[in-house]
Chains A and B, each alone.
Chain A
């Protein structure tokens, strides 16, 4: 097996770490929560950072009319399937394909991950803005528009009495490393093929 194909094989295997580790974490800090509330986003699940955190986030959020974080969302079926299919394609490429296919897989993964992030953003936006009209507390921005409570996609942000943090976790790192490694596989493969051509 060629060196570039071995690298490609590693690139394909790495994103499977998503099934082991959480993709993202949202943390909410406030003075009366000495242990912050937190939620892990796995590829197929929402999970408490500490027991009952999601229940308690929901309880907080109902005051401003936010919807409950659902038990399951369609993405929990689509994302794992997507990763399994792209992994399968990647495996075939790693064993059969040449370096050009590595690049195509890289592009495919970048596009799909971006789509995934965009989908996450849309959900967050809806979650933070689509509020119950009978909300207990209604807040408006200085310009009179309804205040939203969307957590940041990436980074930290103050939301009322909370400070919200949103950062990728180990699963996202594995995905990113896998994608980057496929680019390396492409570059190594291209270099090798140029060497052999000469």
Chain B
């Protein structure tokens, strides 16, 4: 999207001016129609103090690498869940327990670019157990547990680059799918860039999700021709078992793509029959190829992540599985690839086209059966455009990007260049309504999207450009989002709210499915952390060479121990801090002067570890960073650091002096 933004921003500013004067259905500036906002709009987004929102929205943080949790219709942000980026607020990626979560085959990576969250499903309906999100830059897929709202698993995707057509789930969460945006040499090797064409390949990865535990494993990768695989969505209902990917750069250009990848009149939507490939793989098809990728798993009982480097992955050549992959010609570098709730229609949002192309699944099957092919690309049959076309939404706007659906048979498409959302009827392809966005909208989300049962009521648009929407904050601003009521024939703008980072996609759903299951505390009884101290009696300080392990507890309002001596310059000191609280929303924090990492924020029943390597002799304070209680300011301690050659014995105490 970033590249897109650079291409389209200058065009956008020009075109917006033109459209303002030429298009009869374009909109006025927000200021002039604000009087039309009826007073009950405020009531529609007003959630009284202490009341709860009706929907959760999980909005990707883009270059923040994280995922934010919002409430709808209020637009209030509740939490930022660290996923691919270090998060000093909680110690994620800094604590010894969570550092392995950010391990990759390229070593520890402190940052990621998160894009498309998608919630797990059962029978085509959103079940609210897990949410998956992709990292675009160093390809990875993360799973967030929606009981703890914490990242519990991250798997690296080998052979992939620019993990963009991800992370969408099939209708029983059989797979979370990750397609590559950039094609690359597979396996990676030293070769001239100009030899791209015909030599690079694009991997589409099918990551299986274990039904009970949600454990992820790369089941197979389909090695496709060297196009860019931009976005994807699963088939559902009648098309369950298929997966659809938009492509661009079917020209296979390796330089100045803004021109060279925009030459073909049509690119493709790749239709992948994953059930067929799964069967092929289950019968021993495909081959294991050497690879290197990290699989990081967080255990809620040890409160610790482990990272395992895997050494091989199963790859499938699509031409080895006849009838598994087809290309559907789709005009002009399609971006979003969206499937309607019935599973019949596949919308290709041709971002450089003025029209929206909709393919028919039934017609596609018919064309395949009757072998109505229009050539092939690298052995993959190309279907005839007219044979698979269901219809075209004529001239709805400029720069279509993404489409979502409501539960009434309507579709809503975002137009980046003309900065609007257009509502149209699925089946008749007529435009029903259009509303401006502020400005240059990317994705949009309807609660329950990407499922058989959209939950309707609201739609929100996530914009790339903010400009004058809020009080100015210098050159860099948060992006803006707009919430619309879609319960009537016409969309109604309700709310403008800032979002954090650069939201790409978002997943939203009814709150009642999640909120009752949300975890309040971790049970201390179930804490299996090897360095946990589960009572004051279990606290101790143990020296092992130059490593010192402090088994520490916190409870309102003290640390135990809170006086520690016998540490020397050059030691590596591990503070293993267990929060003994068992009450909802009573975290304790831990920070020590000169700590080269971040603080720890420890939830009730949890153990976290911070490493401190003191460089200076002295008596250094540590304290609780979370205002935990009336005696929070008293929640502190001292640790004495002696010279390297001192013989100060290891001693510790709480409530009495060290003698």
Contact = CB atoms under 8 A, between A and B. Distances in A.
Contact of A51 (B556, B582, B631): B582
A123 interface: no
A52 B520 CA distance: 12
B650 to A, nearest CB: 29
B630 interface: yes
Contacts of B583: 52, 55-56, 59
Interface string A9-44: 000000000000000000000000001000000000
B421 interface: no
A55 B525 CA distance: 14
B555 A59 contact: yes
B630 A63 contact: yes
B582 A63 contact: no
Contacts of A72: none
Contacts of A1: none
B555 A63 contact: no
A51 B521 CA distance: 10
A56 B631 contact: no
Interface in B560-614: 581-584
Contact of B631 (A52, A55, A63): A63
Nearest to A59: B556
B227 to A, nearest CB: 54
A55 B584 CA distance: 12
B630 A55 contact: no
A141 to B, nearest CB: 21
For B555, B581, B583, B630, the residue with the greatest tally of chain A CB atoms inside 10 Å of its CB is: B583
Contacts of B582: 51-52, 55-56
Nearest to B582: A52
Interface of A is mostly: mixed
Contacts of B631: 63, 136
A137 B630 CA distance: 10
Contacts of B556: 59
Interface residues of A, number: 9
Contacts of A35: 584
B562 to A, nearest CB: 15
Interface string A133-148: 0001100000000000
Contacts of A137: 630
A162 to B, nearest CB: 14
Nearest to A32: B585
Interface in A43-82: 51-52, 55-56, 59, 63
A66 to B, nearest CB: 14
B586 to A, nearest CB: 9
A136 B584 CA distance: 23
B523 to A, nearest CB: 8
B614 to A, nearest CB: 32
A59 B604 CA distance: 14
Contacts of B584: 35
Contacts of A56: 582-583
Contacts of B581: 59
A136 B583 CA distance: 21
Contacts of A59: 555-556, 581, 583
A52 B522 CA distance: 12
B257 to A, nearest CB: 55
B51 to A, nearest CB: 13
A23 to B, nearest CB: 25
Interface in B512-529: 521
A55 B521 CA distance: 14
A61 B555 CA distance: 14
Interface string B526-557: 00000000000000000000000000000110
A197 to B, nearest CB: 65
Contacts of A136: 631
A57 to B, nearest CB: 10
Nearest to B524: A52
Interface string A117-138: 0000000000000000000110
Nearest to B584: A35
Contacts of B555: 59
A107 to B, nearest CB: 45
A51 B604 CA distance: 13
Contacts of B521: 52
Nearest to A55: B582
A55 B555 CA distance: 11
Nearest to A62: B556
Contacts of A51: 582
Nearest to B605: A52
Nearest to B555: A59
A35 B584 CA distance: 10
A56 B580 CA distance: 11
A52 B630 CA distance: 20
Nearest to A51: B582
A35 B520 CA distance: 12
B629 to A, nearest CB: 8
Nearest to B604: A52
A55 B580 CA distance: 10
A39 B556 CA distance: 21
Contacts of A55: 582-583
A51 B583 CA distance: 9
A35 B581 CA distance: 16
A94 B566 CA distance: 73
A35 B521 CA distance: 14
A137 B582 CA distance: 23
Contacts of B630: 63, 137
A55 B583 CA distance: 9
Nearest to B634: A136
For A59, A136, A137, the residue with the greatest tally of chain B CB atoms inside 10 Å of its CB is: A59
B149 to A, nearest CB: 19
Shortest beta-carbon contacts, A-B, top 5: A52-B582, A56-B583, A55-B582, A59-B556, A136-B631
Given A52-B582, A136-B631, 15 more contacts: A35-B584, A51-B582, A52-B521, A52-B583, A55-B582, A55-B583, A56-B582, A56-B583, A59-B555, A59-B556, A59-B581, A59-B583, A63-B630, A63-B631, A137-B630
15 contacts: A35-B584, A51-B582, A52-B521, A52-B582, A52-B583, A55-B583, A56-B582, A56-B583, A59-B555, A59-B556, A59-B583, A63-B630, A63-B631, A136-B631, A137-B630
Interface of A: 35, 51-52, 55-56, 59, 63, 136-137
Interface of B: 521, 555-556, 581-584, 630-631
